Every structure is written in C-alpha cells, then in structure tokens.
Amino acid sequence: MSKIIWKGIIKSERDFPAANLPKNAKKLDSEEDMKKMQIKALPFMIPSFLICFIGMFTKTFLAGEKVINEWFIFVGVIIGFLLIIIHKLLHAIAFPKNATVFIGIMPRSFTAVALSSSPVKRNRFIFLSILPMILGVIPLVIFCFSNNNLKELNGILFGTSIMGMISVYPDIYNIFNVLKVVPKNATIQNNKNETYYFEENDNSKK
C-alpha cells in the first residue's frame, strides 16, 4: 500500500508536492486553480444525479407508492459529507505501494485533497480517480433492493448515494481530460498543481 501522510491544512496550490519530470513530459491542458476547476467540472455532476434519480424513480414506479422518507435524505447527505475523508483514503490506497500520498483540507476551496507527485500509469490513474464512487454505488444498490416499507432507511441510503456519486465529479473531469490526449501506455505525474504525461522511452530527468 502507498505511504499516506496527513498534511492537515493546505493553504494553496503552491503547497502541493513537487516532482522531477522527464524531459519528454508534456503538460496536460487542465484547470490548475482548485476553485475554478470545481466550477468548470460542474456539468460532470449531471450523469451521477441522473443515475440516482432513475434508481429512485424506478423503485417508486415498481412499488406504486412512496418508498422514502424525504427528511431522512438529509441524514444521508450528512453521512455522505462525513465520508469525504474515506473518499480521499480510497484515492490514496490505490496508488502504487512505493508512492507517497498527502491528504489534507483546503479551506479556501472548501474541499479535501489527496496529493501525490508519484508517477502512475494512465489506466491506474483512471482507476484511482473513479474508485471513491463506490461510496455512492454501494448505498444506491442497497437502496434499489431494500424493502419498500423501510422508508427512513431508504431515505438515508438515497441521500448517501447522491453524495457518494456526485463527489467524484472533479475526478471525472480529470479523467475526461486524460482520455482526450494521454496515450494508453503513458505515465501521468503531478508537479505542484500541474499534471504531466509522458511515455517511458526517455528516462532522462530535467
């Protein structure tokens, strides 16, 4: 497993870990400011919302009656919000075992982050980026198959699933940018708040 270090409060992107990059590294065209990135990534919330509400609509339609207590959705949302550190830990443990990952909180952007300057293969980067979605998928699946009469539990499960599903929207935005330009066998590496990719045919360093 990767080495995980609690960083605490991270004041700005300037405090992100730095890396030594190969000379053939190319910079990925993506938003570097966390706040601006979160805003630009907002459309990537839409598929997650649709999946959750299709699940609720289908369950309600098949039951022929209301299957949730709406007030308990807020309980689920709170639970989902509290799971954000677990979300970041899931990112961290998916890195290679020789990687070092820093977890911290950025009050300026009202977000938690998992940061590493360790290189990872493109497909592994995609996997570690999307892995925390299980925090939404699991409660959504349980919700879909739970007893229709357990309206309070169903409300909690639905609220938790929404938070778990939409919390990965910045990660899906990053995956989208990677899939557009990064070759399948390339390696991805972060340097501060910039993302680079390179193919390992040139191991010389800057």
CB burial of 146-174 (b: ≥16 within 10 Å; e: otherwise) equals beeeebebbbbbbbbbbbbbbbbbbbbbb
Over residues 9-32, the pLDDT tens digits come to 888 777 788 888 888 999 988 777
What is this structure's pTM?
0.86
Count of C-beta atoms within a 10 Å radius of residue 17: 16
Q: Which two tokens stand for residue 92?
A: 């961290």
pLDDT recorded at residue 26: 92
Q: What is the pLDDT of residues 104-146, one digit of tens each?
A: 988 877 788 888 999 999 999 999 999 999 999 999 999 999 9
